[in-house]
């Protein structure tokens, strides 16, 4: 081929062109990997329902495994399974393909159900058509929305599986000349038959060994019995080959005929035709050949533990192996003739029979002295012999007994309960020690009514050398009329040693009883059964019945151990005073471990909130640190003031770290390695110490030291597990005028029971939120009974004024059932309400917090000050204003606008102020706009209306004050009297006009018009701070803007005026606006000589000045003159003669 020809493309073995794909770049590989990871993460998703996350297998198969047993090749087999959704809500699944090797043998027939509701099932038919005679063990992979799950598929073919029940066949002892037969059992667990062949341990055929033993005995080149089993085979008779049927048991009888005395052991091997599933099995045939005709049943007769001064009997049995009768006699040591007696001592034992001899053991106290050579460590071992007439070898046997005394030590010998108060109890520990080698039982009976024992073991059984400590509790009984007394008595303790010794010990006790200055509502408190994560609270009433003040203090164990809280812990009680102590119990499972107390002490000691000394120390260290920081900052400032040279010198003084040599580095590394090994050894030693301490730790004893007793029922993982605690809480008290060492103590007993959750609530907190006063609101509460018992539901009564009520009746809840309760909340006041709903039955209790806030409706008015001025209008027109009412409550309210006080009214009887809307409903946190229409039909400047925004049960009343004026022309003048606050009703509720007033004066004469053009402005006498008066000039807004005109005004002052000043003498006012004009009084400076004379003080004269005010412009009705002149009279007092 020439160089110009193109090279032909590469081809595979089938002649197809090989296309080489372009290799991915690193960036493409990274994107590809990220995309694959995202796809993998998005396959599954978490299922969360009502805050609970589902974990586990979402679908369960029934049956759990698909098993095709003993299948036939080519024959189809079918199993229908149910796939059930056990997750919390809807779920779906997908069945993945089986492995490729077995995929063609299975067929899955089902209709895809899509999304399956919780608890629903989908039937799936699995059809198996085997093509090969091989077992199949695969997993059917499935995917659900919450994760993958698997279903095991097992297919087994027909086979023979042989199993030997007992591979060791032990004939025991067989007398020489006799035989014994036992059965070898082989069971076939498969369906196929198989041949069973018994061979030697190395697999040689037993028949071959037997036949070749004669024909090839002289052949030394080929040993016929390499294993040496031929002598053993001659002592056995059994069939070497059998057929084991399918699913059956084969019984092979084996007869043992001993030929020589001694042990017999022959290992054999069972071979099966179907060796693939039934491998060869090793069996062993054992036996022992005896030749002595007479023997004793036991070589040693152990009398166990015996008490001195008691008599014991035991039966000794001898056996005769031979066929002939034999005379026998027992020989005894001479020292034992007074202590051991045999009956009969001489006799005949028949052939193949037994002979019973009774021995009487009289364990007198002299036994230990006379038979001293047979004693060792309080154990007597006496040898005896049985002599047979035709048997030279005697039959030895021994009698062994451990001797002891029936001794029980009680500590203390006398119980002193000390000084107690009426109604109080005391506990004293008493120890019973069994010094005997026999177990002893004791019981204290009868018990006085004041005495009780903490242990429930009656009678109490003590093992040998065992100590047992329990508590004797004495509870005082009140005797009317007697305050101080001495109580003495005796406790009778009955003791039984073994089953033959009984005696009685008397334990005296004494107690001094006096009257307690404190009176408690109870000394013993049994808190009802509480589930875990529940709370229970109650109160304890304590009254000081003495004539002196008393201070008390409670001491509780660690909260983590008891779950109890009391408040107050310390309190001073005055004489005849009654106080209440709050007791609260948090229910949770508590366990005292080996290091629990140490960890709790460290926790509280290192917590400044619980350690006052540590808190002071931290505060002191913080103050010292701040002082050091201030001193260092001061030094740095001083160094900075010296300049940069000092800093350079400091840098020069710094030394660089020296570089280590290689040998020094190796030495340093070796030292670090050695220190690490030492630290590791130390940690291991500490671990071993902790383990040893945990083994020796006595939780019950440590708990008693803390004043507690724990009784547990069932295992912690069981649903019926419960903890029963009983605590003794000390209450120390003393008179306030006594020293600390004069304190006394009284104990309160608090019993708690904590159980697993069996009664469950759908909600533990029911929050009604804000509810209007007097309005009812209900919510549903569901109670679940998870116990196998009926729960007769009861509840503690809720306070009448709490606002909460259970509407429906409480019923009995069946096991694994539920009950719904309707809780109603109706607040009576605008305040928060909170109560605890306690539900209980015979075996459990549960509680729920009820919360709600009673609120009164509240509205907000805009403008906030409630003042609305509509201004002035021309007679015959009207004007509009708006204000807003906002509902700041969390629920809808209905309001109504009600007039409280009014000014001048219209002559025609219509309302001067009209409100749209007059009443309405405002949703929560919404607002509504109200329109005010001012439409008078007469001239007046006394139009006003005090409006109350009425809302039922509202928190505070909101008011709106609206006022306006009406004139004959667009321009108007009035004395400036602004409203800064909403006036009170008593200030404006006076009558402004009376009947027939309009007959006397016209409306135009009551306002400042051409008929009433004099305006008097009088300044207060001798008040320099109040030296100004104001008038207002306004221009009304017209409905038709085209008719509006500006209003002009001018104030004319005399050029010689020296006492009064006007700030704005001339101007124009646009429609809808007002101008306030201020007149200021400037009195002359008083003469100093006259001011110094006391008699001339406050003597002066009134000064009046008349000023002309001209008004022109604006809209005018026909016949009304344009120019209008007013006379302003300014009157002020001048303090001079």
Q: What is the CA radius of gyration of the chain?
A: 57
Does the pLDDT of residue 844 top 50, yes or no? yes
Query: Residues of the chain with pLDDT > 90: what percent?
Result: 21
Q: What is the pTM of this model?
A: 0.46
314 CB-side CA count, 13 A: 18
pLDDT at 227: 63
Mean pLDDT of 687-716: 86
Would residue 1005 count as lying in a domain? no
- Nearest 10 degrees: Cα torsion 162, 163, 168, 171: -80
C-alpha span between 329 and 395 (Å, rounded): 10
pLDDT at 220: 46
Q: Are 153 and 170 in a shared domain? A: no
Q: Are 870 and 955 in a shared domain? A: yes
- Does 1099 or 756 have the greater pLDDT score? 756
The residue out of 157, 178, 193 marking a domain boundary is 157
* pLDDT tens-digit readout, 846-899: 889 999 988 888 899 999 888 999 988 998 899 999 999 999 888 888 899 999
Of the ranges 389-398, 543-552, 625-634, 924-933, which one carries the lowest mean pLDDT score?
A: 389-398
C-alpha span between 840 and 672 (Å, rounded): 64
Does the pLDDT of residue 772 top 70, yes or no? yes
Contact 193, 244 (CB under 8 A): yes
Mean pLDDT of 1043-1067: 87
* pLDDT tens-digit readout, 314-361: 999 999 888 888 888 999 999 898 899 999 988 899 888 999 999 999
Contact 190, 171 (CB under 8 A): no
Q: Are 145 and 55 in a shared domain? A: yes
Q: Are 391 and 356 in a shared domain? A: yes
pLDDT at 481: 65
pLDDT at 579: 93
Beta strands (DSSP E) in 405-446 are 408-411, 415-421, 425-434, 440-444
Select from 582, 544, 540 the least CA-distant residue to 564: 582
Does the pLDDT of residue 5 top 50, yes or no? no
Q: Are 1052 and 1125 in a shared domain? A: yes
Select from 234, 221, 44, 69 the least CA-distant residue to 146: 44
Does the pLDDT of residue 273 top 60, yes or no? yes
Contact 1001, 992 (CB under 8 A): no
Strand 106-109, strand 121-128: pairing: antiparallel
Would residue 976 count as lying in a domain? no
1094 — phi, psi (to 5°)?
-65, -35
Does the pLDDT of residue 770 top 50, yes or no? yes
C-alpha span between 905 and 935 (Å, rounded): 11
- The string of DSSP letters for 631-656 reads HHHHHHHHHHHH-HHHHHHHHHHPPP
Cβ-proximal residues to 218 (8 Å cutoff; 6+ apart), any chain: none
- The string of DSSP letters for 836-897 reads EEEEE-SS-EEEEEEEEEEE---EEEESTT-EEEEEEEETT--EEEEEEEEE-SSS-EEEEE
pLDDT at 9: 61
Q: Are 960 and 1054 in a shared domain? A: no
Contact 1063, 1001 (CB under 8 A): no
Contact 1006, 940 (CB under 8 A): yes
The residue out of 855, 876, 905 marking a domain boundary is 855
Q: How confident is the model at residue 421 (pLDDT cuts 50, 70, 90)?
A: confident
Would residue 669 count as lying in a domain? no
Q: Are 53 and 123 in a shared domain? A: yes
Would residue 594 count as lying in a domain? yes
Cβ-proximal residues to 194 (8 Å cutoff; 6+ apart), any chain: 160, 162, 188, 243, 244, 272, 273, 274, 278
Cβ-proximal residues to 901 (8 Å cutoff; 6+ apart), any chain: 944, 945, 946, 985, 988, 989
Would residue 15 count as lying in a domain? no
1086 — phi, psi (to 5°)?
-70, 150
In DSSP terms, which residues pair with 730 in a beta bridge?
A: 747
Would residue 687 count as lying in a domain? no
CATH of the domain at 262: 2.60.40.10
Would residue 7 count as lying in a domain? no
Select from 797, 819, 817 the least CA-distant residue to 808: 819
* pLDDT tens-digit readout, 278-309: 888 888 989 988 777 888 889 999 998 888 88
* 181: its two tokens: 């037969």
C-alpha span between 398 and 407 (Å, rounded): 28
pLDDT at 608: 72
pLDDT at 852: 92
C-alpha span between 359 and 345 (Å, rounded): 9
Select from 854, 924, 927, 928 the least CA-distant residue to 890: 924
pLDDT at 8: 57
Beta strands (DSSP E) in 858-1006 are 859-862, 867-874, 879-887, 893-902, 913-916, 919-922, 927-934, 940-950, 958-967, 971-975
pLDDT at 801: 84
Q: Are 147 and 209 in a shared domain? A: no
Q: Are 573 and 721 in a shared domain? A: yes
pLDDT at 218: 45
Would residue 479 count as lying in a domain? yes
Q: How many domains does one find in the chain?
A: 8
Q: Are 584 and 710 in a shared domain? A: yes
Q: Are 185 and 307 in a shared domain? A: no
pLDDT at 1091: 66
Of the ranges 318-327, 800-809, 958-967, 982-991, which one carries the lowest mean pLDDT score?
A: 982-991
The residue out of 722, 754, 786 marking a domain boundary is 754
Q: Are 956 and 862 in a shared domain? A: yes
- Range(s) of the domain holding residue 1029: 1013-1137
Angle at the Cα of 984 from the Cα atoms of 982 and 986, rounded to 5 degrees: 155
């Amino acid at each position: 081929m020439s160089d110009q020809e193109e090279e032909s493309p590469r081809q595979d073995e089938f002649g197809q062109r090989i296309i080489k794909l372009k290799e991915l770049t690193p960036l493409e590989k990274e994107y590809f990997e990220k995309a694959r990871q995202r796809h993998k993460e998005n396959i599954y998703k978490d299922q969360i329902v009502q805050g609970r996350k589902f974990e586990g297998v979402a679908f369960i198969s029934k049956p759990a495994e698909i098993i095709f047993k003993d299948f036939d090749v080519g024959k189809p087999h079918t199993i229908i399974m149910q796939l059930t959704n056990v997750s919390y809500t809807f779920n779906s699944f997908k069945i993945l393909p089986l492995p490729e090797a077995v995929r063609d043998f299975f067929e899955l027939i089902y209709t895809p159900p899509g999304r399956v509701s919780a608890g629903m099932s989908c039937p799936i038919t699995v059809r198996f058509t085997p093509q090969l005679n091989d077992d199949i063990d695969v997993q059917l992979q499935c995917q659900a929305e919450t994760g993958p799950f698997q279903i095991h598929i097992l297919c087994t073919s027909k086979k023979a599986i042989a199993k030997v029940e007992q591979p060791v066949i032990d004939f025991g002892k067989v007398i020489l000349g006799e035989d014994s037969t036992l059965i070898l059992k082989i069971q076939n667990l498969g369906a196929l038959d198989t041949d069973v062949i018994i061979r030697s341990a190395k697999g040689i055929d037993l028949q071959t060994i037997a036949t070749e033993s004669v024909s090839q005995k002289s052949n030394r080149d080929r040993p016929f019995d390499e294993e040496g089993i031929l002598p053993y085979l001659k002592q056995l008779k059994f069939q070497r080959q059998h057929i084991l049927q399918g699913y059956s048991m084969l019984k092979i009888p084996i007869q043992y005929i001993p030929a020589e005395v001694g042990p017999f052991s022959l290992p054999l091997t069972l071979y099966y035709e179907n060796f693939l599933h039934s491998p060869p099995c090793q069996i062993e045939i054992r036996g022992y050949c005896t030749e002595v005709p007479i023997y004793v049943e036991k070589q040693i007769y152990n009398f166990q533990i015996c008490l001195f001064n008691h008599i014991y009997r035991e039966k000794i049995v001898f056996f005769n192996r031979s066929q002939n009768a034999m005379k026998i006699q027992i020989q005894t040591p001479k020292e034992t003739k007074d202590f051991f007696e045999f009956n009969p001592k001489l006799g005949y034992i028949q052939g193949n029979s037994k002979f019973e001899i009774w021995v009487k053991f009289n364990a007198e106290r002299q036994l230990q002295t006379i038979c001293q050579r047979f004693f060792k460590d309080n154990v007597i071992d006496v040898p005896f012999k049985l002599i047979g007439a035709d048997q030279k070898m005697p039959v030895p046997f021994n009698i062994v007994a451990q001797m002891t005394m029936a001794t029980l030590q009680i500590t203390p010998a006398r119980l002193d309960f000390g000084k107690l108060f009426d109604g109080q109890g005391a506990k004293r520990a008493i120890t019973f020690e069994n010094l005997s080698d026999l177990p002893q039982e004791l019981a204290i009976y009868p018990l006085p009514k004041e005495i009780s024992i903490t242990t429930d073991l009656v009678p109490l059984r003590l093992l040998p050398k065992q100590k047992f400590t329990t508590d004797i509790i004495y509870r005082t009984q009140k005797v009317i009329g007697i305050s101080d007394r001495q109580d003495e008595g005796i406790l009778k303790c009955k003791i039984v040693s073994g089953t033959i010794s009984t005696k009685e010990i008397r334990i005296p006790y004494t107690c001094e009883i006096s009257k307690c200055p404190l009176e408690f509502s109870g000394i013993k408190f049994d808190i009802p059964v509480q589930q875990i994560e529940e709370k229970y609270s109650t109160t304890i009433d304590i009254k000081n019945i003495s004539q002196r003040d008393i201070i008390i203090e409670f001491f509780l164990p660690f909260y983590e151990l008891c779950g109890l809280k009391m408040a107050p812990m310390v309190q001073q009680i005055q004489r005849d005073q009654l106080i209440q102590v709050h007791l609260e119990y948090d229910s949770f499972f508590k366990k005292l471990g080996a290091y629990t107390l140490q960890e709790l002490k460290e926790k509280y000691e290192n917590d400044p909130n619980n350690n006052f000394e540590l808190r002071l120390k931290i505060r002191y260290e913080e103050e010292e640190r701040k002082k050091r920081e201030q001193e260092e900052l001061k030094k740095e400032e001083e160094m900075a003031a010296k300049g940069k040279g000092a800093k350079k010198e400091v840098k020069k003084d710094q030394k660089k770290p020296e570089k280590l040599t290689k040998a020094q580095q190796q030495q340093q590394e070796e030292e670090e390695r050695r220190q690490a090994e030492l630290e590791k050894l130390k940690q291991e030693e500490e671990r071993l110490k902790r383990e040893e301490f945990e083994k020796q730790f006595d939780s019950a004893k440590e708990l008693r030291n803390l004043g507690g007793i724990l009784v547990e029922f069932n295992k912690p993982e069981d649903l019926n597990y419960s903890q029963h605690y009983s605590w003794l809480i000390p209450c120390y008290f003393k008179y306030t005028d006594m020293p600390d060492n004069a304190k006394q103590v009284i104990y309160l007993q608090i019993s708690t029971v904590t159980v697993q959750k069996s009664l469950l609530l759908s909600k533990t907190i029911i929050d009604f939120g804000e509810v209007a006063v007097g309005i009812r609101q209900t919510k549903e509460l569901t109670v679940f009974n998870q116990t196998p018992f009926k729960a007769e539901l009861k509840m503690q009564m809720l306070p009448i004024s709490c606002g909460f009520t259970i509407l429906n009746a409480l019923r009995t809840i069946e096991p694994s059932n539920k009950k719904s309760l309707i809780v109603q909340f109706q607040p009576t006041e605008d305040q928060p309400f909170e109560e605890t709903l306690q539900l209980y039955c015979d075996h459990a209790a549960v509680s729920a917090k009820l919360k709600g806030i009673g609120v009164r409706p509240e509205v907000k008015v805009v403008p906030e000050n409630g003042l609305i001025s509509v201004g002035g209008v021309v007679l015959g027109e009207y004007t509009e204003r708006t204000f807003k009412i906002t509902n700041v409550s969390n629920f809808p309210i209905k309001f109504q606008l009600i007039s409280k006080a009014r000014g001048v009214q219209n002559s025609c009887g219509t309302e001067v102020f009209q409100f749209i809307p007059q009443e309405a409903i405002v949703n929560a946190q919404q607002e509504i706009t109200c329109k005010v229409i001012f439409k008078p039909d007469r001239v007046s400047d006394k139009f006003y209306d005090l409006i109350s925004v009425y809302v039922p049960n509202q928190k505070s009343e909101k008011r709106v004050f609206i006022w306006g004026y009406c004139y004959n022309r667009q321009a108007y003048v009035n004395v400036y009297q602004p409203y800064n606050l909403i006036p009170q009703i008593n200030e404006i509720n006076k009558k402004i006009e009376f009947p027939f007033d309009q007959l006397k004066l016209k409306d135009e004469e009551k306002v400042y018009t051409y008929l009433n053009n004099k305006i008097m402005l009088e300044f207060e006498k001798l008040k320099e701070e109040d030296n100004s008066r104001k008038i207002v000039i306004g221009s009304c807004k017209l409905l038709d803007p085209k008719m509006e005109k500006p209003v002009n005004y001018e104030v004319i002052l005399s050029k010689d005026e020296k006492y009064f000043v006007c700030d704005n003498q001339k101007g124009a006012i646009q429609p809808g606006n007002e101008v306030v004009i201020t007149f200021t009084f400037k009195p002359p400076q008083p003469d100093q000589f006259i001011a110094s004379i006391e008699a001339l003080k406050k003597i002066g004269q009134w000064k009046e000045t008349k000023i002309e005010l001209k008004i022109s412009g604006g809209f005018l009705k026909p016949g009304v003159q344009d120019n209008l002149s007013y006379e302003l009279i300014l009157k002020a007092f001048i303090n001079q003669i």
